[in-house]
Amino acid sequence: MIFSLAIYAAPYSSQASDSAYRFALALLENGHSLYRVFFYHDAVHTASSLATPPQDEIHFTQNWQALAQKHNVDLVVCIAAALKRGLLNQQEATRYEKPAANLADGFDISGLGQLVDAAVMSDRLISFGS
Amino acid sequence: MSSIPSKKLLFISRHAPYGSSLAKDALDAILAASAYDQQLSLLFMDDGVFQLLANQTANDIGQKSFAAILPVLTLYEINSIYVHYESLVQRQITINELVLDSVQIIDSAAISSLLAQQDQLLSF
Amino acid sequence: MSTLHTINKSPFSHATLASCLEVCGNKDGLLLLEDGVFGALNSSPCAKELSTLINSGVKVYVLSNDVNARGLQEKLRNDVLTTDYNGFVQLSIEYNCVQSWY
């Protein structure tokens, strides 16, 4: 089956990010495919290239990057939610004349249409929030 | 030429307005979805029914009033709007207090059936 | 068609599980995960309603990762089923849709 995930909560502040990641791993291990992971609401913080958790804690940004690279998964961050929370790729940073860009590699920034597309193109859409 | 399927997508909005942005996020999502030629429905339940109260002025908390935004749903041709009866009763909200007048008030059993008819549930 | 309901909040502090139980159909399934696993304790405020649901044929699952993390292994009601993430994936396929209550 084709799965997509929608995540609505920030990493570390709740378990949602971790639960979503473990579900993603399990579905891939069971031979299913993961079409897209859509980060909305506070989950956009998962895509920060500046995240620096302690060495003995999970690095969510890196985990998602590795999973996306290995399994060719589309990681999309909602542009409206991202901009207002200070997650910008280079294009947006230039557009809005911000001192830096901080969207981690492997994450794309796009509109809510990508969430709808995920719902339409997947057999199952699972949401993780807090 | 591949055809894009038309699916039944139900957006479920369970959070009160203003205290968290989830209520607004749900609305933005369904408005975005209206561009995709899908069969859309919206369900308000639990604290989500508070979004529908008519006399909201949110200027003094720096937000846009839901009473002003919700009527836009009709402009976007989102007409399958459901409200959970028991959630209204629990909060002592009557139908004439709602800002939208073409909603379908449905009970818990009907919600059960509504969920079972969908292809995807978008949970907010 | 049937729905898998996932609940991640404790019934001792949130009305989430109670709300779910009101609209859960008798062909649906329930998965308690994260803080939702507290809903599987005999002391849960929704214990009676959960019994009614289970007796009507609804299967209620708890995610073992979260049960073990919270030290609840010996405290769960005996009519809930324990599963893991592989099981969660299977359940999401077995039921037609997933409604996440958070």
Q: What is the CATH number of the domain that holds B79?
A: 3.40.1260.10
Model confidence pTM above 0.95: yes
Please state, for a pLDDT cut of 90, what percent of chain A lies above it. Answer: 100
* pLDDT value of residue A66: 98
Angstroms from B14 CA to nearest CA on chain C: 9
Q: Kindly state the average pLDDT of the residues B80-96.
A: 98
Give the integer Cα–Cα distance in Å for A90 and A81: 16
Domains of chain C are 3-101 (3.40.1260.10)
Angstrom CA distances, B10 to A77, B43, B82, B123, C88, stand at 22, 7, 10, 8, 22
Give the integer Cα–Cα distance in Å for B9 and A119: 8
Tokens read off for B33: 């979805």
**Is B1 inside a domain boundary?**
no
- Is C27 in contact with B120 (Cβ distance < 8 A)? no
Give the integer Cα–Cα distance in Å for B31 and B33: 5
* pLDDT value of residue B4: 84
- Is B120 in contact with A81 (Cβ distance < 8 A)? no
CB pairs under 8 A between B and C: 47
Task: Answer whether B21 touches A (CB < 8 Å).
Answer: yes
Statement: residue B3 has pLDDT above 90? no
Interface TM-score (ipTM) > 0.95: yes
Q: Do residues B18 and B58 lie in contact, with contact meaning Cβ atoms separated by under 8 Å?
A: yes
**Is B87 inside a domain boundary?**
yes
Statement: residue B1 has pLDDT above 90? no
Give the CA diameter of chain B.
Answer: 52
Chain C residues touching residue A30 (CB < 8 angstroms): 86, 89-90
CATH architecture of A2-128: 3-Layer(aba) Sandwich (3.40)
H or E, element range at B43? strand B39-44
**Is B47 inside a domain boundary?**
yes
pLDDT band at A91 (very low <50, low <70, confident <90, very high): very high
Phi, psi (degrees; rounded to nearest 5) at A56: -95, 15
Phi, psi (degrees; rounded to nearest 5) at C87: -65, -40
Q: Do residues A126 and A13 lie in contact, with contact meaning Cβ atoms separated by under 8 Å?
A: no
Nearest CA among C97, A100, A54 for reference residue B116:
C97
Tokens read off for C62: 């708890």
As for how many domains chain B has, the answer is: 1
- Burial pattern A63-80, b for ≥16 Cβ within 10 A else e, equals bbbebbeeeebbbbbbbe
Q: Which residues span the domain enclosing B59?
A: 8-123
Phi-psi region of A12 (alpha: psi -120 to 50; beta: other; left: phi over 0): left
> pLDDT tens digits, residue range A9-65?
999 999 999 999 999 999 999 999 999 999 999 999 999 999 999 999 999 999 999
pLDDT digit string (tens) for chain C, length 102 residues: 899 999 999 999 999 999 999 999 999 999 999 999 999 999 999 999 999 999 999 999 999 999 999 999 999 999 999 999 999 999 999 999 999 999
